[in-house]
Amino acid sequence: MTLDQAIAGRRSVRGFLTREVPAATIREVFELAQTAPSNCNIQPWISHVVSGDSLRALGRKMVEAANAGVAPDPDFTADRKFAGAYRERQVDAAVQLYGAMGIERHDRPRRDWAYRRNLEFFGAPHAVFVFMFGEFEEREAVDLGIYAQTLMLAFTSRGIASCAQGALSLYPSIIRDHLGLDASNRILYGISFGYEDVSAPANAARVGRVSLADSVIFHR
């Protein structure tokens, strides 16, 4: 696969097979992603890769919290309301996803269920939780974003599907307790990964992009 094919072929997958990715392949991807650039080369990402029973147990804890009505308490603001064109893009993505899953716009219980699937990693056998040191803010978050895409492209080129998930940062204390981390580790996002279940309805969703003219301005 060429780099262009990996970039164009990567998409968010929300239904996985239980089959695990070989440990050596996972290591290879994380080794490669270590080459991601960062401001002053500080490499602020702290990644915890969780698999197997430990991942299932962590998922259960987060789902139990959500079902019990525990309010999310993310380390970074996660409740921004989008407006205008951004809101339209958000709604369009939701229409594509819930449409593929056969969930009506006002079917709140099924939409909630679909959202909770985030906390179960959409059935993926692996997830990486990406933290950064407590005092870091936007500038270091840029580095973590570049790192995320580097990971996902390296996965794609090996036939491994993934989904970046802000939703995996909603219950940080549960994750920190589970992994034995202190509060100086603040979580920005998680990425579920594994092999795509092509029969999962959610995976039929395709979201578009705005045209270049709406995003890129060329000057000379």
Ligand X SMILES: Cc1cc2nc3c(=O)[nH]c(=O)nc-3n(C[C@H](O)[C@H](O)[C@H](O)COP(=O)(O)O)c2cc1C
Residues that bind ligand X (CB under 6 A): 11-12, 14, 93, 118, 163-167, 189, 207
CB 172 within 8 A of CB 186: yes
Closest approach of ligand X to the CB of residue 43, in Å: 19
Closest approach of ligand X to the CB of residue 217, in Å: 22
Cβ nearer to ligand X, comparing 22 with 215: 215
Q: Could you give the CA distance from residue 194 to residue 192 in angstroms, rounded to a whole number?
A: 7
Dig out the tokens for 30 from the structure: 């994380």
Closest approach of ligand X to the CB of residue 14, in Å: 6
Closest approach of ligand X to the CB of residue 40, in Å: 23
Q: Could you give the CA distance from residue 67 to residue 135 in angstroms, rounded to a whole number?
A: 31
CB 76 within 8 A of CB 186: yes
Q: Given phi > 0 = left and psi -120 to 50 = alpha, else beta, which region is 84?
A: left
What's the count of helices (H) and strands (E) in the chain, helices before strands? 7, 4
